[in-house]
Structure 1
Amino acid sequence: MDIGVLLPTGTAQWGPDEDPRRLIGFGRHAERAGFTSLFVSDSLLSPRIEALTTLAALAPATGTVTLGTAALMPFLRRPVQAAQSLASIDLLSGGRLVVAVGAGFPGRFGRPLYTLSEVPWERRFARLDETVALWRALWTGAGSFHGEILRFDALPPTTRPFRADGPPVWLGGATPAALSRTGRLYDGWLPYPPSPADYASGLREVRAAAVGAGRPAEGITPAVYISVRIDDGADGGRGVLDSYARATYGMPLEELAKVQAVAMGSADQVLGHLVRYVTAGARHLVLRLGALDPRSQREQLDRVAELIPAVRAAADRATAAEGA
């Protein structure tokens, strides 16, 4: 059972007057507190420390935690150069990199990014899959690559990652097409469905697609992305999370909670919600802390860390029940 935290790399989370170098100390503190992974988000639509730059800085500053993206938008980068950057981080971290990827969404979080990147919005999912296939080809020393969209007759020697096959690549998303593609092509699944029941049914579809493609169902890492806020106040942190949702997404919590997993309330209430996802099959939790300043981020980190033993115990019980 892995439990990770999303680092607050955006200025909406740490403020324009804060020293972003404190993020490295935040990551080290999370590792000492018992978290087993550190993730960063990726965007051009709000000011933030760039995802791969952050992971490169964390690589020598941490020792054992997995370093991941949640989620990287490959279309923002030239694919051959991105493969080299990812391989370099995998090397610098001693093989601790996980790359969760996405193709963006319709509306303000999708099309504007494609315009900025001078990449067509059409066939974005095929482009994503081919980009990942190209990375894997480069990481294993292929001299050429011929897809429907990306074609290279002569690839130069590129940086080889720490692991022979390169870092594992996960897919975000929970549409029927995304579930099928995850099972057939990817190493893990990182969605954020607001219902544990939807997570369980989605995971069954992912595993069925894997088996149908001749892959082992257990070879797909079942992860989930959840926003959390532990708060003993009368509203259980709803007001703070609403401010967080508006600052981060420009929408109220009520709307965000319709499409993303959110756990808030007392420590017991948050634990209960996390355990429901564990019971549904999740074995890697990526937790985004609902706080808008460094002091509150650290407080939330420490409060969530206190739940780690209980979450792991729940995972042990769920695994035992599956094997019974």
Structure 2
Amino acid sequence: MQNDTSAPTSAPLTEPPARFEVGVLLPTGAAQWGDGTDPRALIPFALRAEELGFDSLFVNDSLLTPRIEPLTMLAALAAVTHRATLGTGALLPFLRRPVQAAQTLASVDLLSGGRLAVAVGAGFPGRFGQPLYELSELPWERRFKRLDETVDLWRRLWSTTGPTSFHGELLHFDDIPPSTQPFTPGGPPVWLGGATPAALARTGRRYDGWLPYPPDPADYRTGLAVVREAATTAGRDAAGLTPALFVSVLVDEVPAAARRSMDAYAQATYGMPLAQLETIQAVLTGPADEVAAGLSRYVQAGARHLVIRLGGLTLKTQQEQLERIAELVTRLQ
């Protein structure tokens, strides 16, 4: 959210002035709507988030559960929002033909006036990744190389006004006709999700930002240092990379109730209990002061764009959480 860096913060930060942004992940999955909800209610939900001061509106991507397709959602928001960044967290490029995806992303960037940010990922082992490759008729092997080449192809198309070709190890295209040019010169920023050693190095070498979800702020700090070192080694401006964070949040002044609600969310979303999820992902639950302190620890570790996923299984609950989190974020400023 918009921050007044001259105001005192709730905790000393390691990199003052710590101007940071806060976005919200929109509940585009049917599991977060509740029975009888009209998914078109996501539009006023997003408008309310922008009105409350959230800096970005993010959507995620999957074929495993019913949901609004992310780029369709962002295209709908491009015409009715005015200030917020529109982001993917994270887009799975292998689900789409790469040339057509470049055109769609450029179109969303155009329609939004250059407010698009594209976080991407290659999928995860197990049921959250491999089945999707089978549906896309693509091999699971060398998925990271495919992702990198896809992004390279996008950038080529976004910065070339005439016909072009692209020859990678996996992707080969000749005589690509002139492509739709995005509003942002050279294309929107592309962030990488993931925190494995290989992902950290690749982020620093070739991406514009980092969107992980480590459960421990200390791991975030360490990972960010590796990203920045890799960027510097590659001759890139490490300070120009956006250090973001994906974090699930549920605010309830009764700690036990907060954990019960987030446990239900974890079971419905991932098929695993909260105790297991919070060993894998950043999760914060409890009273507003405790959640604010938890977010502050990630800011102290270097995060500068917090993407908050709301722990709610109905749109009404999501809206309640949106209001509570908008209020508590002011405590971080």
Q: How high is the TM-score relative to the length of structure 1?
A: 0.95
Task: Answer yes or no: is 1:88 the counterpart of 2:103.
Answer: no
**Cα deviation, residue 236, structure 1:** 4.8
Q: Tell me the distance in 2 between the aligned counterparts of 1:125 and 1:39.
A: 23
Q: 1:176 aligns with which of 190, 197, 214?
A: 197
In structure 2, what residue type is equivalent to 1:105? Answer: F
SS at match of 1:226: strand
1:108 and 2:119 correspond: no
Q: Which residue of 1 aligns with 2:220?
A: 199
CA deviation vs aligned residue, 1:131-159 (integer Å, no higher than 9, x gap): 00000000011611111110112111110
**80-89 vs 142-151, which deviates more?**
142-151
The answer for the alignment partner of 1:290 in structure 2 is 311
Paired amino acid for 2:251: I
Q: State whether residues 75 and 108 of structure 2, in contact with CA within 8 Å, keep that contact through their aligned partners in structure 1.
A: yes
Aligned to 1:268: 289
Q: 1:110 Cα deviation (Å)? A: 0.5
Please tell me whether the aligned partners of residues 252 and 258 of structure 2 are also in contact (alpha carbons under 8 angstroms): yes
User: Cα RMSD between the aligned structures?
Assistant: 0.8
Distance 1:74 1:16, change over 3 A: farther
Q: Tell me, what secondary structure is at the counterpart of 2:228?
A: helix
Contact 1:87 1:159 in 2 (8 A): yes
1:154 aligned counterpart, secondary structure:
strand
* CA displacement, residues 269-311 of structure 1 (integer Å, 9 cap, x when unaligned): 0000000000000000000000111111111000000122222
Q: Does 1:237 align with 2:253?
A: no
Task: Say yes or no: does 1:39 pair with 2:58.
Answer: yes
Q: 1-side partners of 2:58 and 2:41: how far apart? A: 15
Partner residue of 1:149 out of 167, 170, 190: 170
Partner of 2:143: 124
Equivalent residue for 1:55, pick from 47, 56, 74: 74
Q: Does the C-alpha gap of structure 1 residues 137 and 299 become closer, same or farther in structure 2, counting only changes over 3 Å?
A: same
**Residue aligned with 2:127, SS:** helix
| Equivalent position to 1:223, from 231, 244, 247 | 244
1:83-119 C-alpha deviation (Å, 9 max, x unpaired)? 0000000000000000000000000000000000001
Residue matched to 2:299: 278
Instruction: Give the CA deviation at 1:253.
Output: 0.6
Contact 2:255/2:287 (CA < 8 Å) preserved in 1? no
Query: How many Å separate the matches in 1 of 2:164 and 2:146?
Result: 20
How far the C-alpha of 1:16 sits from its partner, in A, is: 4.7
Residue 4 of structure 2: aligned partner: none
Range with bigger deviation, 237-246 or 7-16: 7-16
3-state SS in 2 of match to 1:225: strand
Q: Indicate if the aligned counterparts of 1:33 and 1:305 stay in contact, CA closer than 8 A.
A: yes
Could you say which structure has the greater relative contact order, defined with CA pairs below 8 angstroms and 6 or more residues apart? Answer: 2
Aligned residues: 312
* Structure-2 change in CA distance of 1:129 and 1:234 (3 Å): closer
Q: Give the letter aligned to residue 139 of structure 1.
A: W
Q: Judge conservation of contact 2:204–2:230 (CA < 8 Å) in 1.
A: yes
Aligned to 2:182: 161
Whole-Å separation in 2 of the counterparts to 1:126 and 1:236: 44
Residue in 1 aligned with 2:8? Answer: none
Identity level (%): 66
Q: Is the 8 A contact 1:39 1:67 kept in 2?
A: yes
Q: 1:25 aligns with which of 34, 44, 56?
A: 44
User: CA 1:234/1:83 → structure 2, altered by over 3 Å: closer, same or farther?
Assistant: closer
Counterpart of 1:319 in structure 2 is none
Tell me, in whole angstroms, the C-alpha distance in 2 between the residues paired with 1:167 and 1:148. 24
For the Cα contact (< 8 Å) 1:99–1:168, is it kept in 2? yes
- Code of the residue aligned with 1:247 in structure 2: it is A
1:188–1:223 contact (8 Å) kept in structure 2: yes
